[in-house]
Amino acid sequence: MRQKNMHSLRVYLYIIALGVGIFLLSLLLFSKPTPVYEEKEVPVLGTIVRVKVAGDKVSSNVLLNTAEQELYRIHNKFSPNVESSVVHKLNTDGRVEVDEEALFLFQAAYNYAVITGGAFDPTVRPLLKLWGFDDINSQKKVPTQEEINKALENVDYRFIKVDEKNREISLLKDGVEVDLGGIAKGYAIDLVIQKIKGIDPEATGFVDAGGDIGIIGPKFGELPWVIGIRDPFSQDALKSIDTIYLTSGAVVTSGDYERFFTEDGKKYHHIIDPEDGYPARNASSVTVIAEKAMIADVFSTALFVLGYDNPALDYFTDFGIQAFVISPAGESVQTKGFDYFREKM
């Protein structure tokens, strides 16, 4: 009797051991390996764009090469400083025929100028040139009031005509010049993500264009990416004052520390108020979260111009954004839904 019991116990243990073995083997066979992230830095659009990606079906390096090609293509097509670009052609000839993509971007820029009451204005280029913010190599200096007044006569998005039917963009006044620098970076991020996902839908990672970040997919397929918001009052680029957690979408920060020069102890930066022609003085940092990097990019610039004491801040959530604005004195305001992104999901 006892022996029989021992025997069935042994059989029982064998079955368990076999079960555990099969379980471990299937884990080994069917579980996915941890994604391997690869990175590439591409110097375009006035900044260095860092792409970090792990492919699922396609190798990470193939995805990085696709991203790089797409970034150079957009840079060469839309940078006003590239002679073959549509923007350069528009600025020199006063008109340009465009393809569907360029029509979309000009239309978007025009519409956002309308929506933001001209705080975002793609015709700021004459002012950018005066201050030396039109190109990395330009001489930076404080212009005279007379120079500013003269340039201001040519700054108004209503001088752009978007002819959808004939696919033509034209400038309605001599001296008007366009710069899509406040929208092109965001657009490029969205397009890189779209391209990567088109090839490998389960790829994960992010695109970081100098602080403008778009998420390709969550870290290791499940975790949020942790993004620090830089302290605008610190020289240390790595010092952050806030943390955002994102598994998708985009976060863009416009700060007065990104591109600036100092003259007579005063700091002058690259976001120009189209109203008076001076670097906007009513904010020191604006962070915007949106589904698309292009929208976040536009509104970070526009809300920077509109400033800390903008009574309409919450109205902009209608356009699918959440924003966090820091004043030059260090106070902060934010839209109602912003806190959501401060929590780990």
Q: State the residues that interact with Mg ion by CB under 5 A.
A: 254, 297, 300-301
Torsion of CA 55, 76, 253, 296, to 10 degrees: -80
Task: Indicate which of Mg ion, ligand ADP, none lies near residue 133 (CB less than 5 to 8 Å, by partner kind).
Answer: ligand ADP
The binding track of 168-187 with respect to ligand ADP, each residue x by CB under 6 A or -, is -----------x-xx-----
Q: Is residue 246 within the footprint of ligand ADP (CB under 6 A)? A: no
193 vs 298, beta carbon nearer ligand ADP: 298
203 vs 271, beta carbon nearer ligand ADP: 271
Answer for which of 301, 310, 322, 335 binds ligand ADP (CB under 6 A) is: 301
Q: Is residue 297 within the footprint of ligand ADP (CB under 6 A)? A: yes
50 vs 167, beta carbon nearer Mg ion: 50
Residue 82 Cα distances to 66, 88, 179, angstroms: 21, 7, 12
267-301 CB burial, b ≥16 within 10 A, e <16: ebbbbbbbeebebbeebbbbbbbbebbbbbbbbbb
Q: Is residue 132 within the footprint of ligand ADP (CB under 6 A)? A: no
Task: Indicate which of ligand ADP, Mg ion, none lies near residue 121 (CB less than 5 to 8 Å, by partner kind).
Answer: ligand ADP
Query: Which residue from 216, 224, 176, 215 is spatially nearest to 199, judged by alpha carbons?
Result: 216
Of 27-86, binders to ligand ADP (CB under 6 A) are none
Consecutive H or E run containing 111: helix 100-115
112-144 CB burial, b ≥16 within 10 A, e <16: bbebbebbbbbbbbbbbbbbbbbeeeeeeebbe
Query: How big is the site for ligand ADP, counted in residues (CB under 6 A)?
Result: 22
Contact 156, 127 (CB under 8 A): no
Task: Indicate which of Mg ion, ligand ADP, none lies near residue 143 (CB less than 5 to 8 Å, by partner kind).
Answer: none
70 vs 121, beta carbon nearer ligand ADP: 121
Q: Least distance in Å: CB of 241 to ligand ADP? A: 17
Q: State the residues that interact with ligand ADP by CB under 6 A.
A: 120-122, 124, 128, 133, 179, 181-182, 210, 212, 254, 258-259, 270-272, 274, 297, 300-301, 305
